[in-house]
Amino acid sequence: MSQPKPLHYAAFVMNTTSHILQGLWRTDDARQTDFNSLEHWVGLARELERGKFDFIFFADVVGLYGDYDGGYRKYLEAGLQIPSNDPSVIASAIAYNTTDLGIAITSSVPQEHPFNFARKISTLDHASNGRIAWNIVTSGLANAFRNFGYDGLVEHDERYVWAQEYAEVVYKLWEGSWDEGALLQDKTRGVHADPDKVHKIFHEGARYRVEGPHLVAPSPQRTPLLFQAGSSPAGREFAARNAEAQFIISPGPAAARTLIDETRALLPAHGRDPHDLKFFQGLHFVIGSTEAEARRKERELEENIDLDAMIAHLSGGLGVDFGSHPLDTPLGEIESEGTRSLLQWVSEAVEGREPTVGDLGRVLGRNSRVVGTPDQIADQLAVWRDAGVDGINVVNATIPGSYVEFIDHVIPVLQERGLAQREYAPGTTRQKLFGHDLLDDRHPGAGYRGAFTPVAAAL
């Protein structure tokens, strides 16, 4: 039998103070409040490259979460994803100061016209020598849509219809607008590009009309590596058609196995191989030299978590305002369609009594947590790999501390066990993950290659 491949690792971050584990920016060793500093991010990227991480993965939002206790005061008090900066602006600086680290940028469909987005991403892919990835999101925040002139949140499945057209526009620009060999830069003949090999795309769809051509010559990957994070039926269908990597947050390896198997089974309907899609599980780690030390550090972490902010984050995402209820309010007293599955989830974690609003924050903080010594953590990651997970999106408690500790103490054990790479493979980010620079021929985006040449257009 062949040796199992190492897991891939991404650092899950956001250009803000408080991202996932709320309140920990207040601890002495946390430097999340330096998020405005370019050196903060460049320094972290260098550390990640020292640890042979595959990606720095930037989450992003373009609006406020829903109300908590009737408004957005708590988000500002807690630094909960506000203020937050545009990660794409700092990507080129990270690229300039690293050589192998992939740079994944979240950009939602409503926030930027696809023509300009395609141009920006191609520029970054050139600047990074082919290390850019795009995390495709549709945005579930009503405030985000209102910020871009819409009346409110577009219906869930319709957002994925919109995303599909958006993807088709950028595929046409990235893959079809410039033929191979179009950029000549021939000083002798004085011909910079072959006009017969550069094409307008004349896209006309429900939401976009884009003439083209793409203003940027093909970058090393043409299309960036494609991430996606939706787990709804519509989201999984979109991933099966478009994504090369999917970010998941399963409660355990068995659930991950089910989700992965079910999603992989969707790919053949779109002409793709089930293993054209890799899965990255979100996990956060509490590390100790002994199990007792790890458990002590876990207790300290829980003491520093801001329960109100944890609940506000979930509350805003669900559209259920838990903020008007004290922390000791039984969850069963809050009647809402959005709370039924939550009630079951929290009830399974709280034994012997009815769960409360406060328990919701506590359970959320423990979700996808791995606690133990480096060897115990390696044991758990081996189980996740055996469940079909290809990579881990490492959630932080503090920056840079969570990553430095993981790199110094866990990565060497993982490398020894074949669970982490010792050296980077050469080439672009897609080459490192899949063995080729460009989208494979099975991907729908590849179908636009040569689609706008005069011969193809006449057929």
List the single range of 33-47, 318-332, 423-437 with lowest mean pLDDT: 318-332
Average pLDDT over residues 313-328: 83
pLDDT at residue 354, as a whole number: 82
Under 8 Å CB-to-CB from 46, ≥6 apart: which residues? 97, 98
Cα(177)–Cα(370) distance, integer angstroms: 46
pTM, entire model: 0.94
Q: Is the pLDDT of residue 325 over 70?
A: yes
pLDDT at residue 362, as a whole number: 84
Q: Is the pLDDT of residue 350 over 80?
A: no
- In 3D space, the residue among 55, 30, 111, 423 whose CA is nearest the CA of residue 224 turns out to be 55
Contact 50, 11 (CB under 8 A): no
pLDDT at residue 351, as a whole number: 72
pLDDT at residue 14, as a whole number: 98
List the single range of 286-295, 360-369, 408-417 with lowest mean pLDDT: 360-369
In angstroms, the Cα distances linking 231 to 20, 238, 307, 449 are: 18, 10, 26, 30
Q: Is the pLDDT of residue 2 over 80?
A: no
pLDDT at residue 458, as a whole number: 53
- In 3D space, the residue among 251, 205, 245, 213 whose CA is nearest the CA of residue 227 turns out to be 245
Q: Is the pLDDT of residue 111 over 80?
A: yes
Residues of the chain above pLDDT 70, percent: 96
Cα(266)–Cα(274) distance, integer angstroms: 8
pLDDT band at 210 (very low <50, low <70, confident <90, very high): very high
pLDDT at residue 205, as a whole number: 97
pLDDT band at 455 (very low <50, low <70, confident <90, very high): low
Q: Is the pLDDT of residue 327 over 90?
A: no
Q: What are the backbone dihedrals phi and psi of residue 183, each rounded to the nearest 5 degrees, phi first?
A: -85, 110
pLDDT at residue 336, as a whole number: 56
pLDDT at residue 358, as a whole number: 85
Mean pLDDT over the full length of the chain = 93
Contact 201, 172 (CB under 8 A): yes
pLDDT at residue 366, as a whole number: 86
**Alpha helical stretches, state H, 14-104:** 38-50, 73-78, 87-96
Average pLDDT over residues 267-271: 97
pLDDT at residue 320, as a whole number: 80
- The helix/strand/coil state of 57 is strand
pLDDT at residue 95, as a whole number: 98
Selected residue with higher pLDDT from 318 and 121: 121
Selected residue with higher pLDDT from 372 and 337: 372
Q: Is the pLDDT of residue 316 over 80?
A: no
β-pairing, 191-193 vs 102-108, is unpaired
Q: What are the backbone dihedrals phi and psi of residue 150, each rounded to the nearest 5 degrees, phi first?
A: -90, 160
Burial 177-203 (b: 16+ CB within 10 A, else e): bbbeebeeeeeeeeeeeeeeebbebeb
pLDDT at residue 201, as a whole number: 98
Tell me the two tokens of residue 333: 């007293």
Domains (range + CATH), the chain? 8-290+369-458 (3.20.20.30)
In angstroms, the Cα distances linking 143 to 70, 135, 175, 254 are: 14, 20, 33, 36
Average pLDDT over residues 396-418: 98
pLDDT at residue 359, as a whole number: 84
pLDDT in tens, 226-261: 999 877 889 999 999 999 999 999 889 999 999 999
**Number of neighbours of residue 209 by Cβ within 10 angstroms:** 9
Q: Is the pLDDT of residue 333 over 80?
A: no
Please give the DSSP secondary-structure letter assigned to residue 197.
Answer: G
Q: Is the pLDDT of residue 337 over 60?
A: no
Place of tokens 């328990």: 359
pLDDT at residue 231, as a whole number: 77
Cα(106)–Cα(126) distance, integer angstroms: 18
Q: Is the pLDDT of residue 345 over 80?
A: no
Selected residue with higher pLDDT from 364 and 7: 7
